[in-house]
C-alpha cells in the first residue's frame, strides 16, 4: 500500500489512483457517541439486524417528547434518514451526520432515525437497499422498533418521511419505490426528501464535464470510482441502481401510483446537478408530485457546514415541505 499513489482520502477509507480502495478505521474524534440525556436533542443507538451489522441512531427532541410543544406532541413524525458516502464510506455516527440529523430533529420536531447500512465494496449493491428497507420494516416490528422505548412512546408510524443525502438520497429513492408497491400495514410514508441524490450514467452531462475545483467534495472521477466499487461486479453506470431514470424504467415509474411527494435538492455547482435536475424532470413526466430546490453557488455536501446560510436555507425548505405534508407538526418555521 505504501507505494500506491493516493487519489483521495476519506475519514474511513483511501482511494488510490489505480482505482483500488482500502478501508481504515475512522478516527475516534470524528465519531460522535450517542447521548440519551442530551437536550434539546437526545440520542441513542439501536440494533436493527445484528447478523448484518445494521443499526440506527435515534434522535429525540426532548421538548416535544415531554409535551412542551404546541398541542399533543407525545407522538412525533418519524424521519428515516440514510447517510451519504458514495455507498462506500462514512457511517451514521460520523460527526457531520450526527449534527445534521440533530438539526433536522430540532427543526422539524420529529424523531429522526439515522440508519447505518452495509458498505461496498465488501457488500455491493443491492445490500444497502436491502438494509434500508429492513430498517423501514423494523419500525413496526413487534420484536424490533416496537420494543424500543423511544419509538414505542413517541413514534407516529402513520407519519413517516424517508430522507437521505448523496448516496443516501439514492438509497431513499429506491426504498420509497419499493415501499410504494408493498404492504406496510399501519405505516404510511408521507413524503421523501432527496438531498443531492447520487445518480449517474455513462453519457456525460455538462455539470460532470465542466472544470471542477481540486477541493470539490465530489468530482466526476471520484463519482466513477465510487460506482465501480458499489455496483455489482461487471455492471456499468447505466445500471438501474445508478441510472434510475433510464428510458426503460420510465414505464415502471408511471405504474407506481402510491409514490409519495418528493422534495429534491440540487446544488448549482455540484457535479451531480444536471443528474438531479434530470431526475426531477423525468419524475414529473411520469406524473409524480415533486418540488425541486436548486441551491445557487452550492457544491456537493454544502450542508456539512452547520451554521452556513445555505444550510439554514435547506433546513427552512425541508421544514416548509414537511409542514405542507403534515400541517400540525411542531416544526420551527
Q: Reduced to 3 states, what is the DSSP secondary structure of residue 193?
A: strand
Element holding 315 (H helix, E strand):
helix 309-325
DSSP-derived secondary structure for 82-144: E--STTTS--TTBHHHHHHHHHHHHHHT-EEEEEE---TTTT-TTHHHHHHHHHHHHTT-TTT
Q: Which three cell numbers stand for residue 242?
A: 445508478
- The question of whether 102 is a catalytic residue gets the answer no
CA angle centred on 263, ends 176 and 175, rounded to 5° = 10
Whole-angstrom distance, CA of residue 304 vs CA of residue 168: 14
Check 43, 166, 319, 331 and give the catalytic one.
166
Check 12, 148, 270, 274 and give the catalytic one.
270
Angle at which helices 167-179 and 127-138 pack, to 10 degrees?
60
The values of phi and psi at residue 11, to 5°, are -55, -30
- The question of whether 166 is a catalytic residue gets the answer yes
Check 83, 98, 239, 300 and give the catalytic one.
300
- The question of whether 300 is a catalytic residue gets the answer yes
Question: Which residues does the annotation mark as catalytic?
Answer: 166, 270, 300
Amino acid at each position: 500500500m505504501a507505494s500506491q499513489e493516493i487519489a483521495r482520502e476519506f475519514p474511513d477509507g483511501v482511494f488510490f489512483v489505480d482505482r483500488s480502495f482500502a478501508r481504515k478505521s475512522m478516527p475516534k474524534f470524528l465519531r460522535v457517541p450517542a447521548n440519551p440525556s442530551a437536550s434539546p436533542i437526545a440520542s441513542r443507538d439501536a440494533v436493527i439486524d445484528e447478523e448484518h451489522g445494521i443499526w440506527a441512531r435515534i434522535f429525540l427532541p426532548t421538548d416535544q417528547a415531554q409535551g412542551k410543544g404546541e398541542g399533543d406532541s407525545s407522538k412525533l413524525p418519524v424521519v428515516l434518514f440514510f447517510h451519504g458516502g458514495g455507498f462506500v464510506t462514512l457511517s451514521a455516527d460520523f460527526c457531520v451526520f450526527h449534527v445534521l440529523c440533530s438539526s433536522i430533529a430540532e427543526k422539524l420536531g420529529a424523531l429522526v432515525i439515522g440508519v447505518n447500512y452495509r458498505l461496498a465494496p465488501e457488500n455491493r449493491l443491492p445490500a444497502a437497499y436491502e438494509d434500508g428497507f429492513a430498517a423501514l420494516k423494523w419500525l413496526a416490528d413487534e420484536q424490533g422498533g416496537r420494543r424500543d422505548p423511544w419509538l414505542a412512546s413517541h413514534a407516529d408510524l402513520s407519519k413517516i418521511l424517508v430522507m437521505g443525502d448523496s448516496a443516501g438520497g439514492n438509497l431513499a429513492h429506491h426504498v420509497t419505490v419499493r415501499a410504494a408497491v408493498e404492504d406496510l400495514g399501519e405505516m404510511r410514508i408521507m413524503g421523501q426528501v432527496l438531498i443531492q441524490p447520487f445518480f449517474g450514467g455513462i453519457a456525460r452531462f455538462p455539470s460532470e464535464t465542466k472544470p471542477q475545483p481540486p477541493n470539490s467534495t465530489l468530482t466526476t472521477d471520484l463519482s466513477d470510482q465510487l460506482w465501480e466499487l458499489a455496483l455489482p461486479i461487471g455492471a456499468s453506470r447505466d445500471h438501474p441502481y445508478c441510472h434510475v431514470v433510464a428510458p426503460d424504467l420510465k414505464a415502471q415509474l408511471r405504474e407506481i401510483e402510491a409514490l409519495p411527494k418528493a422534495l429534491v435538492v440540487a446544488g448549482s455547482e455540484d457535479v451531480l446537478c444536471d443528474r438531479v435536475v434530470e431526475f426531477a424532470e423525468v419524475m414529473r413526466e411520469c406524473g409524480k408530485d415533486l418540488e425541486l430546490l436548486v441551491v445557487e453557488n452550492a457544491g456537493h455536501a454544502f450542508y456539512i457546514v452547520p451554521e452556513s446560510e445555505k444550510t439554514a436555507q435547506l433546513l427552512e425548505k425541508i421544514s416548509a415541505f414537511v409542514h405542507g405534508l403534515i400541517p400540525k407538526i411542531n416544526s420551527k418555521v
